[in-house]
Structure 1
Amino acid sequence: MPMSRDLLRLADSVLLPGFQGRTPPDWLRRRLAEGLAGVVLFSRNIESWSQVAELTAALRAENPAVLVGTDEETGEVTRFEVAGGSTRPGPYALGVVDDVELTEALAADLGRDLAAAGITIDFAPSADVNSNPDNPVIGLRSFGAESELVARHTRAFVRGLQSARVAACAKHFPGHGDTSVDSHHGVPVVGGDIEQALRPFAAAIDEGVRAVMTGHLLVPSHDPSAPATLSHKVLTGLLRDELGFEGMIITDGIEMAAVSGAYGIGGASARAIAAGADAICVGGEHSDEATAVGVRDAIANAVADGLLPEERLADAARRVTELGAWAAGTGVPGAGPGGSGDTPVVDGPPVSRATGC
């Protein structure tokens, strides 16, 4: 069944795909001009701060409100400093020192560098309370194992990053810390009461965080039938209604097995929007035009088939557009840290996982 151009454009307006190369391919330029929401940059897209500034300027020429996201958590998860590792201490080290002014200053400094390179949303901080020593994916990415510690440093990081007008994104809601399975490969289960896990997210929301990233986690206490990313009870009932979050909800990499395994990338994307997500992050290893088109078409078909209310899709698109408009106030991207833009960032083995966020 042919889709209307307006419906396809609406579906495009909630997608942030990845792509190959250090300059925008023709398909990406064309799709941005036609309404694609934005992109996610991985280490494969990054050579230097100045190169990223040129890349993002080219993207912005096609869509002035484009969202450009990346995972720059500091510490072991970095996209800009893959070759030698991050020059900034990571969350765990900041938690050990437990100086919230230092955390805020570090995040503000990071935000200035990212803004200069044209990044508009940083998928950080990790608001996960790393309370399970067998956790295979969070570890040093967390500020610590105690919820109040994580909450106060999450607040500080959000405050610092957004002082540079780069949107912070607290992740992985409702908390990936108390798990023993990596959602890249399976479905982690969060057992028992999640009150402690929620405290850092509540703190981030109170601080005005602009975005929250979902975790591909099964939370039986709230919904035993679907991972959080695909759960209306978790995203709408808990995050929106109970915690009062009004910003943009973005998925973790939708190609990850915990959600795509059962429904495919397109099916998982449509279900995530129906559950309450506003933006779809896709593009780890799936970073070509065919994947982006497939996800767009799956979302549009879900509307046509009555599985996804068009009003829900329109509401998601509105929240993405509002964040893009906020981020567009950052001004013209500069050259990079220190103003020179000449610091090389050589691609190499990623410090952390190459897919997902």
Structure 2
Amino acid sequence: MTNTDSLYRLAAGTLMPGFQGTTAPAWVLSALDEGLASVCIYGPNIASPAQVTELMGALRAAAPQALFTLDEEGGDVTRLHYLTGSNQPGNAVLGRLNDPATTASSAAAIAAELRELGFNLNLAPDADVNSTDTNPVIGVRSFGADAELVARHTVSWVAGLQDAGVAACAKHFPGHGDTSTDSHHTLPTIDVDRQTLTTRELVPFAAAIDGGIASIMTSHIMVPSVDSEHPATFSRAILHDLLRAEMGFEGAIITDALDMAGASAETGIEVAAVRALAAGADLLCLGSETTQERYAGIVEAIVRSVRDGHLSLERLQDAARRTAELAAAYSPSANWPEATEAPGPAIAAAFDVSASARRWIELPQAAEFVTFDSATNLAVGHVPWGPAAVQAHTDIGNISADSKLALIGRGIDEHHGIWKAAADLRRSGREVIVVDCGWPRMKVDLVTFGASRAVAAALVDFLTR
């Protein structure tokens, strides 16, 4: 192998592209043969259980040693169940149940599904402390607003996943919970002093490191108390000085998707890739719509930066080494224990139920559920949610004349259309409750703290018991 070949292979060994379509493109298979470290699967890559089984079989056959990856948080963020909604409750529900064993069981169930298909890295759990109720991108993806509770359940979730043979990745370091903007679209700022950062945002990550987490994901946010010039993904002060030197993390540092506006809107993804590696990242998530041309351009940019002296060869070698060690530690061919079947949690125990909702439940009329369109974020995507995910939705134009009505939304704020509908129906004499399947922003009759298929089934059962 020539030095040039070796350098290109090193660069490929730090990359994790996605791709478009439901079959493995020839360029991805070729890149895997040439040293590509990882491939990330997204919701639009999945068309059916049989198709994803065939897809993963083709990818794993092409690269038995690679990291095959997805975001399977359970709850609202699901890739494996993108077509139906997740069969797991999600972090906010697990945090409210506050039983670490239940949290670990949920993660182990996810690991069993992933490992059967050939995945060995899961970009989860979300370890953010959701300290801002209006956070547009975290919300129910978080275990809660208390740092110690989030830390406790992060550790349990990581153990459940990794003990079953799938590497975990705590995100979004150093903490995305205290933002009111979404880094998919802009560059948020965590404007807290270093003491607050240490005693709130960093607590779950420190616990995860102590618990042996395999990888940690960066966030595209500004944290001026640590680095006033560079977003976390591109900050040596945050990735090396804080995460490596101060917190003692020795695993792989993975970037959030570099095609997000908070990472590359101003510079382009090729520059962002080099900056992330130089700052201390090891595995670069390139995003869901990576093309052959973009991938080749990123590899070339990394190689050129080493030749030009803008990125040291030692840093690139270190990144490729840490990524390869992660893959080796979670080899699908290892003899991992079989997952044990655990009873599902009593999800409804996590609901916040008002007196008005309890009175509504006792009314003798038949219940109908009306789901209102609610904005979501790119992390969630277009996944069936709420009662509609379990075929319990009635269009508002088709409601019965004498039923009681549960109006369902998520992330309901004062401007949400659900309020006018509720007021109009109540004026006409109907019995109505308003249900929020998200993180509550204002007072409603019932909050589920999640919108997954599992939570939706529990909600329908709870309201019709």
TM-score by length of 1: 0.91
How far apart are 1:355 and its partner, in Å? 8.8
Cα contact 1:59–1:66 (8 A) shared by 2: no
SS across alignment from 2:224:
coil
Bigger relative contact order, structure 1 or 2 (CA pairs below 8 A, ≥6 apart): 1
Matched position secondary structure for 1:220: coil
Q: Report the Cα distance in structure 1 between the residues aligned to 2:340 and 2:101, rounded to whole angstroms.
A: 21
Task: Give the letter for the 1:263 counterpart.
Answer: T
State the match for 1:206 in structure 2. 210
CA distance in 2: counterparts of 1:267 and 1:241, whole angstroms:
25
Which residue number corresponds to residue 426 of structure 2? none
**Match of residue 266 from structure 2:** 262
Q: How big is the shift at 1:64?
A: 1.6
Which residue of 2 is the match for residue 33 of structure 1? 33
Q: Residues of 2 paired with 1:243 and 1:211: CA distance? A: 13
Q: How far did residue 57 of structure 1 move? A: 2.5
Equivalent-residue separation in structure 2 for 1:229 and 1:337 (angstroms): 37
Cα shift at 1:330 = 4.3
Q: Does the residue aligned with 1:52 lie in a helix, a strand or coil?
A: helix
Question: What is the Cα deviation at residue 167 of structure 1?
Answer: 0.3
Aligned residues: 340
Structure 2 Cα separation of the partners of residues 86 and 337 of structure 1: 19
Q: Do the aligned residues in 2 keep the contact of 1:211 with 1:247 (CA within 8 Å)?
A: yes
Matched-pair contact (CA < 8 Å) for 1:78–1:351: no
Structure 1 equivalent of residue 290 of structure 2? 287
Q: Which residue of 2 aligns with 1:42?
A: 42
Q: Indicate how the Cα distance of structure 1 residues 256 and 188 shifts in structure 2: closer, same or farther if over 3 A, else same.
A: same
Q: In the alignment, which residue of structure 2 is the partner of 1:346?
A: none
Q: Which residue of 2 aligns with 1:127?
A: 127
Which one is further off, 54-63 or 81-90?
54-63
| AA of the residue aligned to 1:256 | M
The verdict on how the C-alpha distance between 1:227 and 1:355 changes in structure 2, with shifts beyond 3 A counting, is: farther
Aligned-pair distance for 1:354?
5.5
Partner amino acid, structure 1, of 2:112: R
Summarize the alignment of residues 12-27 of structure 1 with structure 2, pairs less than 5 Å apart: 12-27=12-27
Note the C-alpha offset of 1:83. Answer: 2.5
* Aligned-residue offset at 1:71: 0.5
* Alpha-carbon distance in structure 2 between the residues aligned to 1:262 and 1:186: 10
Q: Which residue of 2 aligns with 1:104?
A: 104
How far residue 45 of structure 1 moved from its aligned partner, in angstroms, is 1.4
Q: Deviations over 1:150-193 (max 9, x none)?
A: 00000000000001110000000000001111111111101113
1:337 CA displacement: 12
What is the alpha-carbon distance in structure 2 between the residues aligned to residue 328 and residue 18 of structure 1?
A: 20
Q: Which amino acid aligns with 2:109?
A: D
Aligned to 1:143: 143
1:345 corresponds in structure 2 to none
Partner of 1:305: 308
Show the counterpart of 2:180.
180
SS in structure 2 at match of 1:313: helix
* Residue equivalent to 2:322: 319
Amino acid at match of 1:236: H
Structural RMSD (CA): 2.1
Is the 1:151–1:201 contact (alpha carbons within 8 Å) kept by the matching residues of 2?
Answer: yes
Question: Deviation of residue 31 (structure 1)?
Answer: 0.8
Deviation at 1:54, TM superposition (A): 2.8
Structure 1 Cα separation of the partners of residues 119 and 97 of structure 2? 28
Alignment deviations for residues 85-141 of structure 1 (CA, whole Å, 9 cap, x no partner): 111101000011101110001111111111101111111000000001221110000
Are 1:53 and 1:117, in contact at CA under 8 Å, matched by a contact in 2?
yes
Give, as a single letter, the amino acid of the residue that structure 2 aligns with 1:11: A
Instruction: Give a deviation string over 1:286-330, Cα, whole Å, max 9, x none.
Output: 321111111111111111111110100000000011111112144
Indicate the percent of aligned positions where both proteins have the same amino acid. 50
The unaligned stretches of length 5 or more in structure 1 are: 339-349
Instruction: Tell me which amino acid in the other structure corresponds to 2:260.
Output: M
Give the aligned partner of residue 344 of structure 1. none
Deviations 1:224-265 (A, max 9, x none): 000000000000000001111110101000011112022210
Give the structure 1 partner of residue 240 of structure 2. Answer: 236
For structure 2, the residue ranges without an aligned partner over 5 or more in a row are 342-374, 382-465
Distance 2:87 2:380 in 1: 22
**How far off is 1:332 after superposition?**
9.6
Whether the 8 Å contact between 2:78 and 2:380 is mirrored in structure 1 is no
Structure 2 equivalent of residue 163 of structure 1: 163
In 2: Cα distance, 1:239 partner to 1:273 partner:
15
The code of the aligned residue for 1:353 comes to L
Structure 2 Cα separation of the partners of residues 355 and 73 of structure 1 = 10
SS at match of 1:212: strand
Q: What TM-score does the superposition give when structure 2 sets the normalisation length?
A: 0.70
1:87 aligns with 2:87: yes
What code does the residue aligned with 1:325 have? A
SS in 1 for 2:267: helix
